[in-house]
Structure 1
């Protein structure tokens, strides 16, 4: 009847092998350190020692008890394993087992297995939640029913979740995955999409092989914690992508290469979520962080993944591109120097991303030489003056949504526009001269 409990423990990859119970197999031939009125070690023959109790009349479960003092820690999970059976006359009967306190208020975490005449191995996990002020014990209460109870091979071991500790220390096939742990997450097996070919002056690339990125950059050097951002490869090639690891946020800093982002209008990122991942409640939020102004100067771009249209398909790359709002553009005007970029997500170890960049709409290609006009001051607060070498037929001002917000037909070589009532942000000024149009940007501050 004796068993090697270590072999049984191998069936549970999350269980440590540090035994808390002493004399759990009763092979010393006596009860110590077990105690209680049911402490009674007997030899069933050939040195097969077990604890035996015989309840003559039913009462409270705790009226007949076998216990052992053990040291447990509040908030920690433990696994209780034991063999138990009754005799053929009793046939079946319940007992109460668990972990609890040795004194008042006698809090306990228990289960009520049913014994049969055949020996069974019972396994229970309990997370201690009653504090550490009273010492702990292993509990076998047998007084609620009549008949014999035989107990053997008792063990209590601490449950350690080896599937979530960043180490390959169980029977995992990888770090925290495979074996008895959840299957390994399959990351991107193809390269991220190739973004559109844009003019270099219209892109500030934070991380991308498609554009010349800011250099140098630091991947999480204190803001969110070391090693939260990890560069890896996708598709078996040399296309580097970033993996979102461990932390609740990631920071990418530019220690020697800050960038002026005033006038840039869009944020782009490609991300990959593995097959089988639920999108409900998942976010992948971006943040432009200036070197002045504090939190109020940060531009946050929240991404509710389950609310995107079209909806991302797990197992494929998704291209996200969003135009900044007028209020966000205004924030960049007053706080234009980006020194860090942040990512916040609840997709730890479940998202990879690439082609992270800020860009702006190019000016029209059918323009005449913009040097033929002079526009000042830029930025402007109240008035914007335009001078040209020829008669200005018409001037139109557009916001970045393409809406005309101001128009004037001066028919002269100079014109002054009252921009005091415009919202802060970036605007495109289209100046018509001799039937041709020049497009320039100006910033309202």
Structure 2
């Protein structure tokens, strides 16, 4: 029933823009690899493109979001998406570009659209009625997970069935469509004169939220990367890793919808902390499980919790930053979670290297337990920071 009251005309358009703008982001890492495989750039060139895209996105998100503090959001996002779409189009139409040009175009595509996720999340605060904000953010999280779940099959089908550059044409179309649909939404201009001094320092004051997000994504990346080895270590069919991870993705989508369908007791900070601790326990139990149904069930439970953690971190950040810094904070959160989750080639390569070193001297279950321990320490650090801040409040009042 909560979703029934959410879907106004503007929110429906906003949801379509979110989906269209996230599709190229989800497609990009695998699309670059298939592109390198099918052209003169090779796999190494494709990996370099993916790394350049991710790095440019991580840098561009907070930098471009600072412009939204005093400029019309709609125009800024639309221009960035249009430039990104042009970069994807060039990748799809330039015949066999060298690695240097391909890497440069990938970086442009990632950087110019990087402010869109944070800005669109900020737009939801004004498009959705007050009581429906957490429902709108749940919808956004669900759409994001659905796009990420569908994109690998979509990229594979286009790259192998049509051509290595075909995914870029879809990315171009989706990005241009998102830019055009933005003009059907009411515009919003960031507040001026508020916190103009060191906005980045202000945004970084919410570091416990960013750290919690990165810790959660690192934890999930660790179990996903070690799942095949974990199944083999338990003498279970490695082929089950695909269906198990599909179940995890579907559970995440369902979890986002369930969280947004009602209000939950306690503050969003407490909800986020409790569910992250449950996620840590679930992943640790997965490392110790001896049967594939138990592993699948525990990962599905973790997926349900992951969705709620993603949503509550956004709500927590909204409470901790002034309104004019919401786009910057959301963009920093988006960039940090992407790095932590290993969605880019650079982050994935780092996690694979760390996991590979651990697997060389321990079993995959031990590697996962080390990851859960690391995440627990990071979570405890954020909890201590919150407690210290709460203790300081009376003195400052």
* Same-fold status (TM-score > 0.5): no
Name the one with the larger strand percent: 1
* TM-score, length of structure 2 as denominator length: 0.24
**Structure with the bigger percentage of helix:** 2
Considering Cα pairs closer than 8 Å and 6+ residues apart, tell me whether 1 or 2 has the greater RCO. 2
Q: Kindly name which structure, 1 or 2, has the bigger radius of gyration based on alpha carbons.
A: 1
Q: TM-score, normalised by structure 1?
A: 0.22
